[in-house]
Amino acid sequence: MVLFALRTLRHRRAAFAGAFVALLCASALVCGCGMLLETGLRGGAAPERYAAAPVLVAGDRYVRETVDKGDGESKVKAKALTDRRWVPSSLAGRLAAVPGVGRVVTEVTFPAVAGGRAFRGHGWESAGLTPFTLRSGRAPRAGDELVADAGAGLAAGARVDVETPAGRRTYRVVGVTAEALPSQGTLFFATGEARRLAGRPGLVSAIGVFPRAGGPAPDLTLALAGGAVAYTGDERGAVEFPDAEQARLKLVSLGGALGGTSLLVAILVVVGTFALSAQQRQREIALLRAVAATPAQVRGMLSGEALLVGAVAGALGSALGVGLGFWLRSAFVALGAMPENLRLVVSPFPALAAPAATVAAAWAAARISARRTARIRPVEALGEAALPVARLPLGRALAGAACAAGGVALTLVLSGLTSEAASGPVTMLTALVWTVAVALLAPALAGAAVALLAKALRASRVAGHLAAANLRAGSRRLASVITPLSLMTAMTCTILFAQTTMGDAAQEQAAASARADHVLASQVSRAAADAVRRVPGVEAVTEVLRTSVRVGLERFPAQAVTSPGLLATLDPGVVSGSLDGFGAGSVAVSGTAASRLGVTVGSPLRLALGDGAAAALRVSAVYERGLGLGDLLLPYELVRPHVDDPTSTVLVSAPTLGRAELERAVPGVAVLDRVEATAASAPNADVNLVAMGLIIAFTAIAAVNTLAMATSDRSRELALLRLVGTTRRQVLWMLRLETLAAVLVSAVTGTAVSLVTLAAFSRGMTGSALPYVPLPAYLAVVGSAAALALAATLLPARVVLRARPVEALGARA
C-alpha cells in the first residue's frame, strides 16, 4: 500500500498541499523551539571580564533546600539567585596561601553611568582578570581619577560626571585601555575609591586565582568557606552574567511550552486537513472497498500517504527551523530578554527530533481521520459520496463530551492558579482542550448553525439561497472549516488578551496605589534621593528598590521601600495589619502571596534575598495590590546591601512644587508626574507575544490551507452552477456568504473558548472573572480572520471560474 500511496500522492498533490504546509510549519516550530530549549538546558555565556583567570572564586549562585521525598529519603534542590553572592575579602589571603597558587586578584563590580551610557565599575587591581592593558596614560591613583576602556570614547585628560550608587562625582580620565569588552563598557577606579563606590565593606564580588607556572593545579577545597565556590570554564561566564542564567531558565520554560503547543496544534490541524481530504476522496475509497480492499489496507494507504508527506515536510521544516531558531534568538536579544553573549546551542538533536515528531503527528492524524472512512461499507460510502450528510458518530460524540469535561476541569484548575509560572502553560492547554472539543463536535455545531443562519442567508435572493442550500448539503465541509478558524480565533484571543488582562490589572493597581506627586525614574542614587529630601516644599520621599526573593524555593517579586513618609507616597491597599512603624524586621505581604504561603499578620516569614542572604521577618500587614507593587514589601535598608544595582526609583510627595524645582535639585534625572510614572510601569509582554505569535501565524496558515482545499475541490459544483445559468458574480457572492457564515460560527465558538479560558485565568490572577478585552483589538482579530478566510476562498474560486464550465467538468471527470 505504500507504493499505492506514493502513486496517489503524485496524482493528488493539491489535496495534500494543506497537510504538507501545516506539517512543514509544525516541524519548523518544533525545531526552532527545540533549539531554544536546548540553549536553556546546555547553553552558557563565555567569560569576558574573567577570560584570563583560570579559576574564579565567587559566591554560590544558587539557593538550596533539602526536600523530603518520603520513605525517609531527601533531595537537595537548587534555584538560581538573581544577584551576585559576594564573598569576604579575607578569603583572598587564604587562597594565596594554598600550595600551587601563584597570585590572586580581587575585584568589586558596581553599576556606573557616564555620558548617558551604562558601564560596569571596577578597581584597577582587577584589570589583570581580562587582561586590560593601557594604551595611553597611567593607572588611577587618587580618588577622583579613572581609566576608561577603548570603547568609551573618552581621552586621557577629559573630565566626566559619573553616577554610581554612591552618588554623582566628577572624575578625571587618566588613562585609556587598549581593549574593550563586547557586551559591557568598563570604567576602572583607584582601589579604595572602587570599594567605597561598591558599598560592600569587607566583601568582594569575585577572586581570580592564577596557578603557579609549571606547578600542579592547586586544590582550593580546604580554603573555600562562607558559600564560596570555585568556577572554571564557561561557569565563569555564568558568574559574570547572572542575567544569562535567568534567560536560560526562561528559555527552558518558553521553548518547552511553545514546542509542545506547536505539536498539539499541528496534530489538531492536520487531523482536520486529513479528514477533509478523506471526505473529498470518499468515492475513491468506496471504489477501493468495492474491489475488495480491506479496511486495514485503506488505513495503510492513508497512513502511508501521511508518512510520506510528514517525512518530506518534516525534513524541509527542520531546515527552516534552524533559521527560525536564530531569528528567535535575535528577537529576544533585541527585546532585552536574552543577553547577546548567551550563545545559541546548535546541535543535531532538535533537527532530528522535529521530523520525527512531525512524522508521528502526521501518522496519528491520518489514523484518527481514517477510522470511520476505512470501516464504512462500500455501498454506504458511495451513497454518502453522492449525498454527504452531517452525522455525528457515537464515538466522536463521546470523545467530544470527554474533551468538554476535561475543559471544564482545566478551567476550574486554572481559576485557582495565582502565579504566572503556573497559569501560563495551563491557560494554553485549557484553550486547546476546549478547541479539540469544538473540533470533535463540529458536525453538530455546523448543523445547528446552518439551521439558524439559513433564514438570514435567504434574504440575499439568488446568492443567499444558493449559500443556504450549499451549507445545508455541505455541512460536513463546513464542520471541517470551522475547526481551524475557531482555533485561530481562540488561540489569538487567549494569547493577546491574557497579556492585556494582566497589564491592565497591574496598571490599575499601580495607579490606585500612587499617592506621590512626582516620581524620579529608576537608577537614582541614595545621594540624589537625599538631595530631593532637602528641597523646601518636599513633604515625603520614598526610595523604591525592585528585587525578587525566595521563600523556600518559590520566587516572589518584591519591592524594598524606605519607611519615613511611606503612606504619603504609596497606598498598597492594606486589608489587615498596618504599615505604621514599618521598618527593620517587618514584611508586608500581598493577599495572593499570603494565601500561597499560609501566613497572616504576626506570622514569621523566613526568606532568601536576591544574593541568597537569609532574613527572618514578621508579617506586619497584608495588602491587596500585589500585581502593581509585587508580592512583598521589604525594608529598604535590609535589601540594599544584597542587590547588584542598589539604585532606586524615588517617590516624592510635594504638592506645592513643580517638576522644574526637582529637576534643578537632581540634574540629569528624569522627573515624571503620577500619570507618566504609571504608564512607564506597564509590564512588557513583547517576548511572549513574539513567541506565541508564531502559534497564531501557524493557525492562520492552517485556516487558509483548509479553506483553499475546500474551495478547490468544488470545481465540478461551481461548473454545474455556471451551466444552469448562475452568473460568475452570483457564484462569488454565494462563496462570500458561505465563508462569512463559517467565520461567524468560528468567531462565536472561538470567542466562547477564549472567554471561558480568560475568565478562569483572570479569576486566578487578578481576583476578577472579567478579563480585559480591548474592543479594537478584538475586532482586529475577527476582521483578520474574516479577511484571511475570504482571500483563501475567493482566490482559488477565481482560478476555478476562469475555465469554461464544460472544460472544468471534463477536467474534474
- pLDDT, one tens digit per residue, over 231-263 is 998 889 888 888 887 788 788 877 777 777 777
- 700-724 pLDDT tens trace: 777 777 777 777 767 777 777 777 7
User: Is 739 a domain residue?
Assistant: yes
Beta strands in 664-791 (DSSP E): 671-673
Q: What is the largest CA-CA distance in the chain?
A: 101
Per DSSP (E only), the strands in 610-758 are: 614-623, 632-635, 648-653, 671-673
With a cut of 80, say whether residue 271 has pLDDT above it: no
Which residues are 623's β-sheet partners?
574, 590
pLDDT computed for residue 813 by the predictor: 46
* H or E element, residue 773: none
| Rounded-to-integer distance, Cα 480 and Cα 31, Å | 28
648-653 vs 55-59, strand pairing mode: unpaired
Grid cell 475541490 — which residue?
713
797: closest CA among 685, 691, 719? 719
604 CB-contact burial (10 Å; exposed 0-12 / middle 13-18 / buried 19+): exposed
Rounded to whole angstroms, the Cα distance separating 13 from 11 reads: 6
Mapped onto helix, strand or coil, the DSSP state of residue 238 is helix
Question: Alpha helices, DSSP H only, in 387-525?
Answer: 394-415, 420-440, 442-458, 461-473, 475-513
Q: How far apart are CA 679 and CA 48, in angstroms?
A: 36
What average pLDDT score do residues 60-80 get?
A: 80
| 382, pLDDT greater than 60 | no
pLDDT: is 2 or 444 the higher one?
444
Q: What are 438's strand-pairing partners?
A: none
The answer as to whether 634 is a domain residue is yes
As a whole number of angstroms, the distance between CA 393 and CA 440 comes to 10
Task: Verify that 131 and 220 share a domain, yes or no.
Answer: yes
pLDDT at 376: 61
CB–CB of 577/601 below 8 Å? yes
Does 131 sit behind a cis peptide bond, omega within 30 degrees of 0 on the bond before it? yes
The neighbour count for residue 35, using CB atoms within 10 Å, is 29
Asked if the structure places residue 679 within a domain, the reply is no
Separation of alpha carbons 42 and 506, rounded Å: 34
Q: Does residue 674 form part of some domain?
A: no
Question: Which of helix, strand or coil describes residue 79?
Answer: strand
Residues 228 and 285 placed together within one structural domain of the fold: no
**783 CB-near residues (< 8 Å, 6+ apart):** none
Answer with the one of 656, 678, 700 that is the final residue of a domain: 656
Domain-located, residue 480:
yes
User: For position 280, what pLDDT does the model report?
Assistant: 63
Nearest to 554 by CA among 630, 608, 599: 608
d(CA 139, CA 145): 9
**Average pLDDT estimate for 458-464:** 73
Mean pLDDT of 411-434: 87
H/E element holding 723? helix 715-723
Q: For 352, what's the count of Cα atoms within 13 Å in the CB-facing half-sphere?
A: 4
The answer to the question of residue 193 being in a domain is: yes
Q: How remote is the C-alpha of 116 from its chain's centroid?
A: 30
What is the mean predicted confidence (pLDDT) over 308-316?
Answer: 87
Average pLDDT, the chain: 84
Helix (H), strand (E) at residue 601: none
Return the higher-pLDDT residue of 15 and 510: 510
Which of 161-175, 220-234, 510-524, 707-721 bottoms out in mean pLDDT, i.e. has the lowest? 707-721
Burial of 472 (0-12, 13-18, 19+ CB in 10 A): middle
Output DSSP code: residue 570.
B
Q: Flag whether 693 is in a domain.
A: yes
Q: How many other C-beta atoms lie within 10 A of the C-beta of residue 770?
A: 11
* Digit-coded pLDDT (tens) for 133-171: 999 999 999 989 999 999 999 999 999 999 898 888 999
Please state, for a pLDDT cut of 90, what percent of the chain lies above it: 31
Q: Are 302 and 145 in contact (CB under 8 A)?
A: no
Phi, psi of 555 (to 5 degrees): -95, 140
**pLDDT higher than threshold 90 for residue 495:** no
Same domain, 141 and 79: yes
Check whether residue 486 and residue 589 sit in a common domain: no
- In tens, the pLDDT along 802-812 reads 766 655 555 54
Match 508626574 to its residue by C-alpha cell: 673
Average pLDDT over residues 650-678: 84
Q: Are residues 326 and 397 in the same domain?
A: no
Smallest CA-to-CA distance from 325 within 353, 302, 297 is with: 353
327-379, pLDDT tens digit by residue? Answer: 888 888 887 777 787 888 888 998 998 898 888 878 877 777 666 665 666 65
Is the pLDDT at 9 greater than 60? The verdict is no
Q: Which residues of 618-653 are buried (b: 16+ CB within 10 A; e: fewer)?
A: ebbbbbbbbbbbbbbbbbbebbbebbbbbbbbbbbb
In sequence order, which residues have a C-beta less than 8 Å from that of residue 504 and are 6 or more positions away?
772
Residues 40 and 69 in one domain: no
Whether 243 and 142 have beta carbons less than 8 Å apart is answered as: no
Name the domain boundary from 387, 403, 436: 387
- Calpha distance 16→2 (Å, rounded): 16
Backbone angles phi, psi at 525, to 5 degrees: -80, 165
Helix (H) or strand (E) holding 169: strand 167-177
pLDDT for 455? 74
Q: Let me know whether 224 and 257 are in one domain.
A: no
Judged against a pLDDT cut of 50, whether residue 387 lies above it is answered with no
- Quote the strand ranges of 498-644, DSSP E: 518-524, 540-551, 554-561, 574-577, 586-590, 604-608, 614-623, 632-635
Residues 529 and 642 in one domain: yes
Query: How far, CA to CA in Å, does 119 sit from each of 155, 183, 522?
Result: 16, 10, 16
What are the start-end ranges of the H helices in 648-685? 659-665, 674-680
- Do 372 and 400 lie in one domain? The reply is no
Other beta carbons less than 10 A from residue 515's beta carbon: 16
Angle at 440 between CA 436 and CA 444, to 5 degrees: 130
∠ Cα 378 384 386 (to 5°): 105
Domain endpoint, select from 656, 674, 699: 656
Same domain, 628 and 585: yes
56 phi and psi angles, rounded to 5 deg: -120, 125
Q: Could you tell me the three cell numbers for 670?
A: 528624569
The pLDDT, as a whole number, for residue 74 is 76
Residue 379 has what pLDDT? 59
Range of the domain at 644: 518-656
Residue 464 has pLDDT above 90, yes or no: no
Full-model pTM: 0.80
What backbone torsions phi and psi does residue 450 show, to the nearest 5 degrees?
A: -60, -45
Total of domains in the chain: 4
Q: Which helix (H) or strand (E) holds 208?
A: strand 206-211
**Same-domain pairing of 227 and 359:** no
526 and 552 both lie in a single domain: yes
DSSP-assigned letters across all residues of 29-76 = HHHHHHHHHHHHHH--BPPSTTTT-SEEEEE-SEEEEEEEEETTEEEE
Residue 697 lies in a domain: yes
**How many other C-beta atoms can be found within 10 angstroms of the C-beta atom of residue 301?**
23
In this structure, of 419-433, 463-477, 544-558, 676-690, the range with the lowest mean pLDDT score is: 676-690
| Banded model confidence at residue 733, pLDDT cuts 50, 70, 90 | confident
CA distances from 696 to 316, 365, 397, 660 (A): 21, 21, 28, 47
Q: What is the pLDDT of residues 20-56, one digit of tens each?
A: 877 888 888 889 888 888 888 888 888 899 999 999 9
